[in-house]
Amino acid sequence: MGVVLTFRASGVVNFGHAAVATFLAFAFHEFRATGDLVLPLFGVPHRVFLLPRPTVATALVVLVVYAATLGWLLHRLVFRPLRRATPLGRVVASVGLFLYFWAVVGLDWPTTPDVRPVLGTANVTVLGRLVGMDRLLLAGLAVVLGGALWLLAHRTRFGLATTAAAENPRGAVLRGIDPDRLAAWSWVLATVLGALVMVLGVRTVPLDPLNNALLVVPALAAALLADFRSYPVVVGAALALGMAQSELLNLRADVDWLPDVGLQQGLPFLVIVVVMVVRGQGLPGRGDGTAGRLPAAPAPRHVARTTVVLVAAAVALLLGGSSDWRAAVITSTVFAVLALSVVVLTGFVGQISFATYAFAGCAAFTLVKVTDAGLPFPLGPLVAVALAGGLGLVVGLPAVRVRGLSLAIVTLGAAVALSELLFRWTWFAGSAAGAEVGPPVLAGMDLGIRARGDAYPRAAFGLLCVAVLLVCGLAVANLRRQSTGLRWLAVRSNERAAAACGVDVGAAKVSAFALSAALAGAGGVLLAYQRLTLSADSFGVFSSLSLLALVYLAGIGVMSGSLVAGVLAPVGILALLSGQDVGQPSPYQFAVSGLLLVVAAVVYPDGVAGAVRSAWSAVARRRTSGASSRSHQLAS
């Protein structure tokens, strides 16, 4: 209901809703235990002592006030400035909140605080089974809140004005309605609801930063069934979905031959795909008619010269640099390949995907399987990349009928489903200890990363990574400058106009999705050779979100953005230049990524690459203007 509230009021699908609620729940239990109010900050003192030994009632009052204040600040500082932004800008801002609040919880609470359930621990017998009273109370509370929100939306001036402002903000302003004020109150109410349900349902969903933040996926599935409009429908859909997930969990315990994987995590993805394909349309839109500027996507220039310079620099560092420099160059190169996947799909076509690392993981684990089966290098990697591209084609099929925010929901569900179903299936991903991949060997020459002492990582593997990035980059550059790239940009700008001009919109989107997944697969293969031992956690959804954050910050609409993202990668070149240990990622990387993503979405959507390009263009214009002025003076 909180997700529906914010969407109805401001057109934002808040992917960070559950992460914000998770932080508030941790802060509530910390306040009950210590009397400290924890602020959502890091790196600076951020605890405020309020009361010694607060009661439950006092803690709940403080929680409501705190959640309301935080909801108002999120709207005021983040989403109000983005009210005329593109859907991409609003999505990446909410993803930034997702990353930031999840990371802040992990930094503040390495272990779960003292949790004392507010609704007690009593059980009752229902149809011969023990059921916690808190479950029944939560279900009743959900029904009551659903009815109250329906009455608020349809029987009060506030609700009717919010609906009117969502449909036509300009018309609402002419009638004296302030859409921003209504949206702010909706964000306040949604944040309070999220915090309360996370606190009250602590026995149903134990506090865990990862699992709690990802509760947004089944919440989105229920909201989709309700078309992001009807509160009674979203309550019924959510309760039904939750009960179905519980039954799947019981079924796995009762049926021995079922794989020991998270079947219940795959159900929301199935619901999302079915709803999207059957309806064949995106989320209900807003009637404002205004659209923010998309990130610039100019054609790549000076490709040959840039390629020679960058390849020469990389080779020099790999052959003449220290082991730290080799490690940093390898990490940045692999990350640049993955970033190129995001640039193709999101930067060129405008399709938002959160499944990049999921496709990379499919390729990586496939490489392990085909290598163990005896398929040599480079046939094994090529098969793995082809399979990732085929899987991307299948996951991207809903892109033919949906777009933008809708596709982002599909890919988020797909990423969670693949991570919990496929990557935890021992037949595919190996044992809990992880799967190991052998080194790449070509014509008897070892191209792997293994070495002893300062010889690790081997320069030969770094050269292999540079070669893969070179091939992928040149292929994408050629496609971008040809008619394929022009069709992609036409689809990104306006699908209806592109179709009117004869562009096959569906084919353009599916081809970009397949290419993006194949590029992610190439990055996954390199990751497999780099990490040697793989696990499900190597390709989690948070890695995809962090990748999107860095690529957007670097410049998501240009190929140079992928190279800049590689430089910015954790334990990459920039980390080494700043004095960080390249063998140990910074504990603040996800928090910083989330914060920078929000700032970039609000302040400068063209990213670092766009800023450099604008500065260079300004210098060139001044030089041209100065030369013209001098020529004119000489002629006169």
Mean pLDDT of the chain: 83
Q: What is the pLDDT of residue 147?
A: 93
Q: What is the pLDDT of residue 145?
A: 94
Separation between Cα atoms, residue 169 and residue 610, nearest integer Å:
31
Domain parsing of the chain, residue ranges? 2-258, 303-578
Q: What is the pLDDT of residue 596?
A: 81
Check pLDDT > 90 for residue 382. Answer: yes
With tokens 């990371």, the residue in question is 103
CA dihedral sign of residues 127, 131, 135, 140:
positive
With tokens 């599916």, the residue in question is 510
Residue 535: pLDDT band with limits 50, 70, 90? confident
Residue 168: pLDDT band with limits 50, 70, 90? confident
548 dihedral zone (left: phi>0; alpha: psi -120 to 50; beta):
alpha
Ranges 113-127, 456-470, 511-525, 601-615: which has the least confidence: 601-615
Q: What is the pLDDT of residues 393-449, one digit of tens each?
A: 887 777 666 666 677 788 888 888 887 777 777 777 665 556 778 888 888 888 888
Q: What is the pLDDT of residue 632?
A: 55
Check pLDDT > 50 for residue 137. Answer: yes
Assigned CATH for 303-578: 1.10.3470
Q: What is the pLDDT of residues 551-562, one digit of tens each?
A: 888 888 888 888
Indicate the pTM of the whole model. Answer: 0.85
For residue 471, CA distances in Å to 123, 297, 311, 513, 551 come to 62, 21, 12, 19, 20
Would you list the DSSP string of 300-323?
P-SHHHHHHHHHHHHHHHHHHS-H
607 phi/psi in degrees, rounded to 5: 75, -175
Q: What angle do CA 341, 346, 348 make, to 5 degrees?
A: 90
With tokens 């959900």, the residue in question is 142
Q: What is the pLDDT of residues 11-32, one digit of tens each?
A: 888 889 999 999 999 999 999 9
Residue 289: pLDDT band with limits 50, 70, 90? very low
Residue from 515, 599, 514 nearest 549 by CA:
599
Separation between Cα atoms, residue 11 and residue 435, nearest integer Å:
43
More confident residue, 288 or 1: 1
Separation between Cα atoms, residue 554 and residue 610, nearest integer Å:
8
376 upstream amide cis, omega within 30 of 0: no
Residue from 111, 139, 95, 100 nearest 26 by CA:
111
More confident residue, 290 or 578: 578
More confident residue, 611 or 239: 239
CA 542 to chain CA centroid, Å, is 7
With tokens 């084919």, the residue in question is 507
Separation between Cα atoms, residue 349 and residue 341, nearest integer Å:
11
Ranges 55-64, 420-429, 511-520: which has the least confidence: 420-429
Q: What is the pLDDT of residues 273-285, one digit of tens each?
A: 777 767 655 555 5
Q: Six-digit token pair at 178?
A: 């302030």
CA dihedral sign of residues 240, 246, 249, 250:
negative
Q: What is the pLDDT of residue 518?
A: 95
Residue 22: CA count within 13 A, CB half-sphere: 30
Would you list the DSSP string of 429-476?
H-STT-EE-PPPEETTEE--S--SGGGPSPHHHHHHHHHHHHHHHHHH
Q: What is the pLDDT of residue 290?
A: 46
Q: What is the pLDDT of residue 288?
A: 46
Ranges 73-82, 248-257, 339-348: which has the least confidence: 248-257
